[in-house]
Structure 1
Amino acid sequence: MKHMKPIRGLSAACLLAVPLTLSGCGLFGSESASVDPPPSEVEAQMLQVSGEGTPDTGVLGPVALDEADLAAGVSTDTAPAAAAGERTTVFLEDGNGLLAPVSLSLPEGDNTAMLKDSLAALVSKGQYASALPEGFKGVLPAGTEVKNITVDKDKLAVVEFNSKFNDYEPADERKILEAITWTLTGQDGIQGVQLWVDGKKLTEMPLQDTPLDRPLTRALGINLPKHGPLLMNSSAVTVYFSAATSDGTHQYYVPVTRFVPAGQDTLKAALNELIAGPESEKGLEMVMTQETVLDSVEAGQNGVVTVSLNDDMFTDGKGVPAEMLESVVLTVAQNSDDALVQIRMNGQKTVTGTNNVDYGQPVSAPEYVNVLPL
């Protein structure tokens, strides 16, 4: 099971003199509309993708460093250490209807028990409902139970639910698949998911007939826009935007899968989508300014990805909003093999976030994302 470190809940970025929305700690504005399942042609093709599109990189996973890395000052800490105890990350529905990773403390147990508990946290009005942050909820139908879960040598998690699993609203079908898939594939040693109900393997979902003829992976995507180009002419990338809790007191990150023209460099395409900002996603906020430009993305032989940005608002590379920099790190990690990331801003090699972390030095994606108060 992955043991993860937290991102800071709310940085001093809210105090910067940048255009703020009236909802929470929006850095550079937000847009509001609906996120719904994609066109049926896109969905059918995404479900058939295996190992393509958004890679199952386990963005929440730790990056192992060797002695040379440590001697060179490579950092995995973009936030304070988590409190002692077992933690795992599950994907819950926020107040805007989007799925977001939320780090929870769950009872200690063996690997199977932890996996069961991570899925139990997804059950509406379930045993862990009181342990979820305010404004977040599970998407599995009330009464759903995890009867069994096994992980085979091919890193496939086989999950058996009771019949209550079938008692969902048709409109929630894809969201349920995304929540289960992204929760389990965020754990060590799991790359795919297969679903069973009461001793029978599901070949399709019971209400909307979503095909399940092959294991589900993160190529499924998450929080897809309602409209997009056909997958045959495009590739999928996943980027991390910012959102705020309903009372505006805490900021968190939300992954969104976007379609980009096929053949583009994956990291460049993903970062350009991040810079472009939310299109039609509800409650998501800009993490970049309108003046941000991506100069280059270079993958070094040492496994460190260097992202070079230009933005006149931060000419000296100091006081850059942590949300802006963390979104870059999360997005790069999601669309690569959990690469270490270092950021250049206006050519400056020291890029200090409002969380006092120097992102000019290689950092990894935080091991705990969205540690929110109850």
Structure 2
Amino acid sequence: MKHIRGVSAACLLAVPIMLSGCSLFGSESAAVDPPPGEVEAQMLQVSGEGTLDTGVLGPVSLDESDLAAGVKDAAVSAAAGERTTVYLEDQHGLLAPVSLALPQGEGTAMLEDSLTALVSKGAYKSVLPEGFQGVLPAGTEVNNVSIGQDKVAIVEFNSAFNDYDPADERKILEAVTWTLTGQEDIQGVQLWVDGKKLTEMPLQGTPLDRPLSRAMGINLPKQSALMMNSSAVTVYFSAASPDGIHQYYVPVTRFVPAGGDSVKAALNELIAGPQSENGLEMVMTQGTVVDSVEAGQNGVVTVSLKDEMFEGSTSVPEEMLESVVLTVAQNTDDALVQIRLNGKETVTGTNNVDYGQPVSAPEYVNELPL
């Protein structure tokens, strides 16, 4: 802990761009394997009403009265124009949301383009940031995407979809599912290949007897253990680009005891930090305490934290505060979030945003330079 404090003190003196390369709370780096079979079955068979399916990252609609009241977006898009968020594999083998400038076609054309961006060495390889790649086999083509009245996207690939590494089977399902369910009108995904509906994946036999949803989780750690009466939460850690300059956020699914406050449980998982060697960085110190999580009648979730490291600090690391906002938004219905730290109602990040005021999850997550 003394070592962490020393590193953090040095980083806090730097400008935000330097924080990204300084690795504020240090980095832990182990491959993420598919979960045990019983966990796999449990997560694929849930009804879709669990904590993982409660919303997608995106801006909360604000009217002029909200803006006048001081409601702000925590991460205003730095680049003009529409973007599309897709889930790509990073240098450590993790899936992360990346916002790309893809063609904004009519109807389902945008959905087809977002899936095409997932193809290894595909048509959009030149617009992927350094260190990221698609997980669909090279040569995969998206023949068609349609959306049913039940908000299930039916995706048809060509036969090249079957030419994947068996070890990547679950990762492919996660990438496709999380990419498509990032759209408001899509809650589930069904896969077809060359005109035939898949009831299971061709190589490892992952069951596809019902539409896939975000309830399947993402980036499950190798050490995931089946917990009786457990529920799943998704938290957001930070990671650094290959050059160490740019930070981005990575969702990770964790199991927590069922029946408790899922948001508070998720925040406690943030404090626990990354579990293995996968390039993820701690976004909080292990001295951070979640004092309370309260949902107000106005739809704003207030998160009260305590951490003596930041007593008297005029600014708090952006990565810490953004991870809290992303995590709370993922485990609620995209609620607005305001943070209290050591009892203070003004909590200014190193990005000069006051997180003491209600903020929303960013519309575009991880806008990274090429």
> TM-score under structure 2 normalisation?
0.93
Q: Provide Cα deviations, 1:324-357, integer angstroms capped at 9, x if missing partner.
A: 0000000000000000000000000000000000
2:43 aligned residue (38, 46, 63): 46
The equivalent residue for 1:202 is 198
SS at match of 2:52: coil
Q: Provide Cα deviations, 1:62-118, integer angstroms capped at 9, x if missing partner.
A: 201234322211112x23434333310000000000000000001131131110000
Q: Provide Cα deviations, 1:196-220, integer angstroms capped at 9, x if missing partner.
A: 0000000000000000000000001
The equivalent residue for 2:323 is 327
Q: In the alignment, is residue 90 of structure 1 matched against residue 81 of structure 2?
A: no
AA partner of residue 217 (structure 1): S
Q: Provide Cα deviations, 1:31-81, integer angstroms capped at 9, x if missing partner.
A: 1222111100000111001224333244322201234322211112x2343
The equivalent residue for 1:276 is 272
The equivalent residue for 1:63 is 60
Contact 1:317 1:346 in 2 (8 A): no
The equivalent residue for 1:132 is 128
Structure 1 spans left out of the alignment, 5+ residues = 1-11
2:349 aligned residue (342, 347, 353): 353
Contact 1:317 1:352 in 2 (8 A): no
Shift of 1:14: 8.4
Shift of 1:249: 1.1
Structure 2 spans left out of the alignment, 5+ residues = 1-7
Name the Cα RMSD after superposition. 2.0
Shift of 1:23: 9.7
Contact 2:57 2:363 in 1 (8 A): yes
Contact 2:201 2:208 in 1 (8 A): yes
AA partner of residue 68 (structure 1): S
AA partner of residue 357 (structure 1): V
Following the alignment from structure 1 to structure 2, what is the Cα–Cα distance between the partners of residues 13 and 321? 11
Q: In the alignment, is residue 373 of structure 1 matched against residue 369 of structure 2?
A: yes
2:301 aligned residue (286, 305, 313): 305
1:80-229 aligned within 5 A:
80-229=76-225
2:246 aligned residue (250, 253, 256): 250
Q: Provide Cα deviations, 1:273-306, integer angstroms capped at 9, x if missing partner.
A: 0111101150000000121111000001110000
Q: Which moved more, 1:189-198 or 1:78-87?
A: 78-87
Following the alignment from structure 1 to structure 2, what is the Cα–Cα distance between the partners of residues 110 and 332? 32
Moved over 4 A (4+): none
Following the alignment from structure 2 to structure 1, what is the Cα–Cα distance between the partners of residues 86 and 313? 34
The equivalent residue for 2:23 is 26
Q: In the alignment, is residue 286 of structure 1 matched against residue 282 of structure 2?
A: yes
Q: Provide Cα deviations, 1:2-22, integer angstroms capped at 9, x if missing partner.
A: xxxxxxxxxx9984259xxx9
AA partner of residue 371 (structure 1): E
The equivalent residue for 2:5 is none
Q: Provide Cα deviations, 1:164-218, integer angstroms capped at 9, x if missing partner.
A: 0000000000000000000000012111000000000000000000000000000
AA partner of residue 51 (structure 1): G
SS at match of 1:55: helix
AA partner of residue 70 (structure 1): L
The equivalent residue for 2:69 is 72
Contact 2:348 2:355 in 1 (8 A): yes
Q: 1:201 to 1:25 in 2, by over 3 A?
A: farther
Q: Which moved more, 1:199-208 or 1:104-113?
A: 104-113
Shift of 1:30: 1.8
Contact 1:25 1:251 in 2 (8 A): no
Q: 1:317 to 1:53 in 2, by over 3 A?
A: farther
Following the alignment from structure 1 to structure 2, what is the Cα–Cα distance between the partners of residues 186 and 58? 9
Contact 2:52 2:217 in 1 (8 A): no
Q: 1:81 to 1:370 in 2, by over 3 A?
A: closer
> TM-score under structure 1 normalisation?
0.92
AA partner of residue 90 (structure 2): D
Q: 1:143 to 1:263 in 2, by over 3 A?
A: same
Contact 1:317 1:345 in 2 (8 A): no
Q: 1:61 to 1:349 in 2, by over 3 A?
A: same
Following the alignment from structure 1 to structure 2, what is the Cα–Cα distance between the partners of residues 13 and 299? 33
Contact 2:56 2:181 in 1 (8 A): no
Q: 1:290 to 1:63 in 2, by over 3 A?
A: same
Following the alignment from structure 1 to structure 2, what is the Cα–Cα distance between the partners of residues 14 and 248? 17
